[in-house]
Structures are given as structure tokens and as C-alpha cells.
A and B are shown apart, each in its own frame.
Chain A
């Protein structure tokens, strides 16, 4: 990235485009899938309303064109940026977003109506707008984030800001369905807990990478049992307290479960000590039991989960309807737009667009579709973890892993809730659920992951490159700048990474 490619106007600055063929190919597949889905949706509505014209068409050509155009623009910007970034993340997230767009077009548009000036926007329009912002944000972060010092240096400031946001929500927030999750500041309304997810990962990555040697080496011995060093368990206890606090104050079980799971995973990644995980799980179980005893919401949720069919038209209604939807879908599904039978014009699952999109997709795309969607999430996770494993230093490693885990854990929690594998908690399915805060958060995560995957940027001066780090930096340098005449750092023969374990 030292010189502009020849032939480009100087006004664009030092631009050296780098083709991303793999991303191009994958995005073409995504475009094909979205177009096929839209045609299928159009055909279904033709059958339902035979008065309309027949023949192949798109359900909402403008939406599809705008969305695919958006992905194409993002793709071109990434090419122009010339950074050596991951080429799978954008198409994967793009596919999930495309599925979301098709689902929101298919649901009754009156689920969400926003009037902006002369326009009345329905569910599909609003979701498309959020998707545009989300992918725009992702692209912007991907090409602009070049240094992480602003993240790692001010981690306590970030954490304090996050807690402040949380408290502000608790004090000034709006109550919706007995949960106090959203905060309105002027014209902007959002759910700060979503942003907190990223802030928390930044803080944990900073804290854990800084204190890693101590957390790994030290032990507090109680008799024959070697416990983790007690002073460094303080963050674990604090985390536990924050999670429980969220449950008590905000009735937001999903977020609490997500924070705690991501925290435990990062702690394990940083230390490799199973003891932490065991202690953490025990703490979780104790906390969960405590919550079950004292928080009525938790009790209700667990009781519904244990037997939703006990009160299928009352408290168990949503989950029973979710299971019915999965059952109706069967192996191949009913087809986009052909599911979700209405009685007296009512959708079977009222919160389908926020909490139960997987049930709707399970019905209309079948087990095949659900498995594919779960697979897409798994691809996101594994790409994120791959970026983490090959990151330049431990902070970046933990940051990338944490961000991937936020998406993965969140998808797992809500999918498992929809499928009655765990008690249902109100949390969004990343990239698919309707919701601005959630989509923006997902965009931020993808943006950071793309930036972190850039193997062309030097990490801040590493303390002492060695082991895997040396190998990675050596490899990166070798790959990136051989022409610049910099001698690649050879893999250090002194430290063989595999033997480290």
C-alpha cells in the first residue's frame, strides 16, 4: 500500500485495487439465490390471488435491485480498498440479509409501519433501510479501521461508557412488554444493550490479553485442588454480577446469557484453563437457580419451556405456535409465502419478525432451509474464529473471536429457544430478525472482522515476535511486501508452536 496503481486518477489517492474473485463468485451465488427466492415468492402470491398477471417476475423488484446493488457496491469498495481481507464474510452475511429481506417482504407489511414525510414505509421497506445502513457501516469500518489502539488503550473508558448506557437505559428507558430495553434520545431510538455487546468484547479482549500470563500461570491452591488465581477471578465475578444485574433490572435473559457465554469462551480462549469454565458454569447454574427462585419472569420462562402444551393458548402460545410452524414445514417446507396460515387474518406467531423468524423460515423453507441457515451462521463463526486464530496479536485474536462469538452465541440462543431446546429469551437472530439496533450491531461486527482479517496491515509493534506470532507476521510480511524489499521474517526455529502445548 505504498503507491497508487498506475492509471488511476490521483484524486482517489493511493488506491491499489485488489481483485476478490472468491467474493465475486460467492456474491453471484447469493444474487442468484435471492432472485430465485423473490421469483418463488411472486409465484406464491399469484396462486393466492389469481387475478394478478401470470408469468415469472420478482416479488418486489425495487427491493431486490437495491439490495443486490448494495452488496455489489460494498464488494467494489472492498476491491478498491486493496486490503487483503476475508472474502467469505460479506457474501455469507449478504445471504442472511437477503433471506431476511425476502421474509420481511413476505410477512404482512403492517407488522411495522413508519411514516417518514410523505412516505409510509412497511416492514420490508424499513428492514431494507436498516440493511443498507448495516452493510454500509460494515463496509465503512472494513476500509477505515486501520489501527486498534483507540480500542485497546481506552478499554476501561469503553467499559464505563457501556455501563453508563446500560444504566441510562434502566433509568430513562421505555418499557416495552415489561422489558426496559430501548432508549430514546431526541429522534433516535435504539437498544443500547446491542452496542454493549461490542463494547464488552472490546473490554474483555483488552483485559484478557493484558493479564493473560498471570491468568494462565498463577494458581491458588486450596488443599489438593489448584484453583485459578483468586485476584484475577474478580472480573469473572464482576461479569457474573453484571449478567445477573441485567436480568434483574431489564428482564433481558437473552442478553445476560449471551454476555456470560461470550465471556466464558473468551476466558477459555485466553487461558486454556478448563478450571475457569467449570467454575463459570457452576456460577452460572447457581445464578440461574437463584434467578429462578427470585425473578418471576425467569420462573415463567422456564415453566413454559418445560411444558408449553400445558397452556397452549396462553403462556405457551408463542412457543407452541413456533413448533407447529416447524412441524408444518417438514423436510422441504411449504415454499416462501405459502406458510404461516392465518385465522381471521391473524398471524399464528405475532412476534414472528423479531423473535421467531427461524420458525417462519422453518415452515416455508423446511428442514433443508433451516439447516442451510444454521450452516451460514456456522460459516460466519468459523471465519471469525479463523481470523482470530491468525490475527497478529492476542488483543486482535480475542477481539475477533469475541465478535464472532457474539453472532454465533446469539444465533444459537434464539434458534434453540425457537426449537424449545432451551427456554425462550427475547433476542434477535443476527442479520435476519427485524430491528435496527440489531442489524447495525451485526454490521459493526462484520466491519471489524473484515478489518481484523486484513493481513496487509502491520500490527502495533509486537513486544517480541515469536512462536506462532513470529510465523504469522513473517508470513504476512512475506506475502504482502516482498516487492518492497523487506526481508521476510522466517519462522523461528527456536519455538515450534505445536510443541508449546
Chain B
């Protein structure tokens, strides 16, 4: 509407009018230009404004639609949580872990769970107390509000029943999970087992467990939840994903990955000052680092240092690698950030966030961190990913619990996906060899008693995390087997369980043995 109306174009030869004739300059009485042009401008501005509205609508309705729809505060989700029969949750063999019952009085459905052993993984879905665990992260799928497939979601709305609760198939192996819980016994701790080539998590155990069925049952929820909240042992904390622990010597594998990955050390690297320091201690910036007792004063390479679990060699390796490299390679495996996982995770850290490279305050902190003390804090899942990275030739796969969602529209599988290549296959193989030595050599066996799977080449590293003060240290083990074509990676921590070889290593050995017995 801006231009002249069609069919009314003036003769092209007409002279321009506003070209000021010198005799008649514009005066007060001169009529201004017609309004068509400025009206056109306003029309254009409004068109742009409305295009902006459409873009805004597109942002909320397409870009943000999935997370808005699945938001727990969304009335759709709240209504679904009350009325919809949630999808089943089954383990990797199809065994049911979570199903539903109906309240005889109200007729409303509620959850029942097969075994407390899965409470940390599955969490709970309670009418009174909301959701936790996989019941929370996959709430939208389990209630059928979303099926994780945008096109399927759009078409689902045309069906008679818009709710399509999905069945979740987990990678969890019930028998291994139950064995891990039983193995942890009355101790607090965690076990994570995963397939290093696919990232499928077979065990995600955290003790103490809790009775999630009591929280889900409307009749008992109030009392059960109040008791859980005040329980000093924090059973609602999933230690496998959210427990932050001092790692001790299992962290040496991270130092080895950073050292080899950055090229600062090789498997053959030795340090001239190391043999003497084994006996006298290593002085770093005036601070003396001591070796644990019984380590001989001879020159070590990577394999020796790993078998003997030499704090001195790893402190020197860490100093040579540098804080920036250590933090960088740790970060590639997820340390320092949230892990992309099906459950919420706590982040791990290599340093206390000081001003030096990698967040280390000084060389003393770096040297101590290199063998897993100082300010290093890790989750069991994170250490399982470290073992898994070495096992999988230096490639970290995305860990996941849900391998398939099944609804009316069929099954959607969650395949393996690569998170990052951390180190080269050669470097990974060198570390794997050292870890095999730590489990199978005559020296290593002293520290990792019981970790060896009979008839299967096994690699691993134990850890004894000193916590300061009195009381037993945390008992750690990470490892994988078989060494050449790994099928299972594991991380075990037993809080206050003593030396790594005392508690965690034998439990890991038992669980890996069981895995190979179940999956011949």
C-alpha cells in the first residue's frame, strides 16, 4: 500500500515537483507530502513486529516445547501423575522392577517396586512427595506426556488417548545389582559397573538403600518420607552419582592419562630424584611428601610406579604434566562439570579452584592431587568412567541407564554414543598394561588382593583415601576385564572400609567374576 495505486501512475514525463523552483522556496503554506509513504512505513513496522510475535511463539512452541511439556510444574504433568498408570520399568533381562497397583479407596494408581536394591536408580514416584531418580528424569515418558520423539509427539495428539506411557528398559542387571548391594552389606558405599564399549550401566548401587515402595504408597508415604529425611545415613543420597569422595590412589590413573595424553611423560619415564625420595620424602616448595611404607628405593617407570602405587613417582609425574594439563584431561572425562547421564550427578574436582594453572593453588597441591589427595573429590560414577576410558582404548562413551523406551508407537532404542576421545589407543594400552600389573603382578597383588577374576586378564587400581584425623580410610578400587577386549569396567568405594585391598578390591573381584559367570 505504499506505492501509488496501480493503474493510476502519472505520466512518466511529469517533472519532479519538489525540486525547488528558485523563485518559490517552501513556505508555511506549502502542503506536505501525501501520507501513503509514512503509512507504508508504519505498516512495515507492524509487519516486522508481528513476525517477531510469530518467532516468539515458535521459540516457546517448538524450541522450548519439550522441556516445558515435561516440566514437573506443568499441570499436564501433575494431572498425569495423579491419573495415569505409569509405564513399567524393567531390567536388561525384562524383569519388572517397577509396576503399579490401584488404591482400593480412591481407585488412583500408585507405584510398587520389586526390591530396595534399585531404590537409588529408580527413585520413587509419590503423589505427596513428587518424584526422584529415574522416575523423575523420565517422568514425562513414564506418564506418557512425551515420548522423546518430536514427530511422534505431534502425531500422538491426534489419537484418542493422548497419554502414551512408555515402558523403560534399563541396562541394569538385577542379579549383579543385588549382589553389589549384598556385597556392600551394612557398609555405606557404592558400586558402578558399566560396559566400557557402550556406556550401558549394569550396576549403580548405593548403600544404604531405602524402601521406595513405602514412599510411593499413599498410605505409608508420610511416615516413611519423614523418617528418610532425618536418617543420619542419608539413604536418599545416591552415593554412586552424587557422593563426593577423596579418591586416593585410584586417581593416579587420571594423572597417568593426563601425563601420557599431554606427552609430558611416557611409559618409560623415570625421575632421577625419585629413588632417594622414596625413603626420605620428596620436598616440593618446602613441603615434604612421604611415601607409604614398604616401597623400595629404586628407579620406577609407569608400570613399576603403578604396581607399587608410588606416591612419589606420581607426584613427580603430575608436576611434570602440569596443573593445566591435569585439569584439561580430567575435564575431558567429565571431572569439573556435570556428567551427561540419566540421573543427576555431582561434579568431581581435581583442585580447590586456586589461581594457578588448572585451579591449583601451588605445586604442593598439584603434587598431592597427582596421587589423589589434596582437594581432589570424585564420584564413584566418575571413577568408573575413568576406568572405562582406559578400557575402551581412550574413548569415553556416554554412560546411560535407559536403553529403550517402548510405547504404542513402538520401541525407541538408546544406542551407544561417544562423548570424547580422551587419549590415543597406544596411551590407553600402556595404562591398561600398568593396571594389569597392579592386579596380577606379584607386587600389585599385595595391594589389590582378590580383584583378579580367575581365568580372565584383569586390570585395576586400588585406592586408600586418607581422610585425616582418626578412623579408617575409604577403600577404593577401579578396574576392568578382560584387559585385551574389555567387557566390564567397575568402580567400588566402601566408606571407611580400610585399605583398598582390604574391602573394595575383593568385592570388585567377586562382582566381575559373577559378571563373567552370568555372561559367558
Contact = CB atoms under 8 A, between A and B. Distances in A.
Interface string A333-366: 1110010011100001000000000000010001
Interface stretch (B73-81, B181-189, B406-414): B73-81
A324 B76 contact: yes
B57 A371 contact: yes
A419 B8 CA distance: 43
Nearest to A378: B50
A468 B4 contact: yes
B34 A496 contact: no
A412 B53 contact: yes
A471 B76 CA distance: 59
A68 to B, nearest CB: 27
A374 interface: yes
A331 B154 contact: yes
Contact of A342 (B4, B18, B19, B75): B75
Contacts of A378: 46-47, 50
A323 B60 contact: yes
Interface string A458-497: 0000001011110110110000000000000001111111
Interface in A312-336: 312-313, 320-321, 323-324, 326-335
Contacts of A421: 52-53, 56
B75 A324 contact: yes
Contacts of A377: 50
B47 to A, nearest CB: 6
Interface in B1-47: 1-5, 7-8, 10-11, 14-19, 26, 28-43, 45-47
A371 B54 contact: yes
Interface stretch (A73-81, A94-102, A105-113, A386-394): A386-394
A84 B46 CA distance: 27
B95 interface: no
Nearest to B7: A475
B153 interface: yes
Nearest to A474: B8
B5 A212 contact: no
Contacts of B49: 412
Interface stretch (B156-164, B224-232, B469-477): B156-164
Contacts of A416: 52-53, 56
Contacts of A474: 8
A212 B35 CA distance: 11
A70 interface: no
B28 A214 contact: yes
Interface stretch (B62-70, B264-272, B338-346, B355-363): B62-70
Interface in B147-206: 150, 153-154, 157-158, 160, 162
A49 interface: no
Contact of B61 (A213, A348, A366, A492): A366
Contact of B14 (A312, A466, A475, A496): A496
Contact of B35 (A320, A332, A348, A397): A397
A475 B17 contact: no
Contact of B58 (A265, A334, A367, A386): A367
A493 B68 contact: no
A200 interface: no
Q: Which of B15, B35, B45 has the most CB of A within 10 A?
A: B35
Given A332-B157, A385-B43, A412-B49, A374 B61 contact: no
B108 to A, nearest CB: 13
Interface in A389-434: 389-390, 394, 397-398, 401, 405, 408, 412, 415-416, 419-421
Given A324-B68, A412-B46, A389 B2 contact: yes
B141 to A, nearest CB: 16
B68 A326 contact: yes
A498 B61 contact: no
Contacts of B38: 268-272
B79 A268 contact: no
Contacts of A415: 53
B103 interface: no
A312 B54 CA distance: 24
A501 interface: yes
A343 B75 contact: yes
A496 B33 CA distance: 11
A408 to B, nearest CB: 5
Contact of A338 (B17, B68, B78, B157): B157
Nearest to B160: A47
B35 A321 contact: no
Contact of A471 (B4, B54, B162): B4
Nearest to A468: B34
Given A324-B68, A330-B153, A265 B42 contact: yes
B217 to A, nearest CB: 21
B426 interface: no
A492 B154 CA distance: 59
B40 A327 contact: no
A16 B443 CA distance: 112
Given A269-B38, A324-B76, A398-B35, A500 B28 contact: no
A334 B47 contact: no
B71 interface: yes
B46 A272 contact: no
B28 to A, nearest CB: 6
A313 B61 CA distance: 21
A333 B157 contact: yes
A367 B37 contact: no
Contacts of A312: 73
B233 to A, nearest CB: 33
A471 B33 contact: no
A348 B75 contact: yes
Contacts of A374: 50, 53-54, 57
Q: Which of B40, B46, B47, B150 has the most CB of A within 10 A?
A: B46
B157 A335 contact: yes
A385 B18 contact: no
Contacts of A382: 1, 43, 47
A370 B33 contact: no
A390 B5 contact: yes
Given A217-B32, A321-B75, A389-B40, A499 B46 contact: no
Interface string B440-455: 0000000000000000
A47 B4 CA distance: 54
Interface string B407-441: 00000000000000000000000000000000000
A331 B155 CA distance: 10
A380 to B, nearest CB: 10
A216 interface: yes
A397 B40 CA distance: 12
Q: Which of B50, B58, B79, B150 has the most CB of A within 10 A?
A: B50
29 contacts: A214-B28, A217-B28, A218-B28, A265-B42, A268-B41, A324-B75, A326-B57, A327-B65, A327-B67, A327-B68, A327-B71, A330-B69, A330-B150, A331-B154, A341-B76, A343-B78, A366-B61, A374-B53, A390-B5, A412-B49, A416-B52, A419-B56, A421-B52, A467-B31, A467-B33, A472-B8, A496-B17, A499-B14, A499-B15
6 closest cross-chain pairs (CB), A and B = A327-B68, A499-B16, A468-B34, A216-B32, A496-B14, A326-B60
Interface of B: 1-5, 7-8, 10-11, 14-19, 26, 28-43, 45-47, 49-50, 52-54, 56-58, 60-62, 64-69, 71, 73-76, 78-80, 82, 150, 153-154, 157-158, 160, 162
Given A327-B61, A389-B36, A398-B35, 18 more contacts: A271-B38, A272-B38, A324-B74, A324-B75, A328-B69, A331-B62, A335-B158, A342-B75, A348-B75, A370-B61, A371-B57, A397-B39, A420-B56, A468-B36, A475-B7, A494-B17, A497-B10, A499-B14
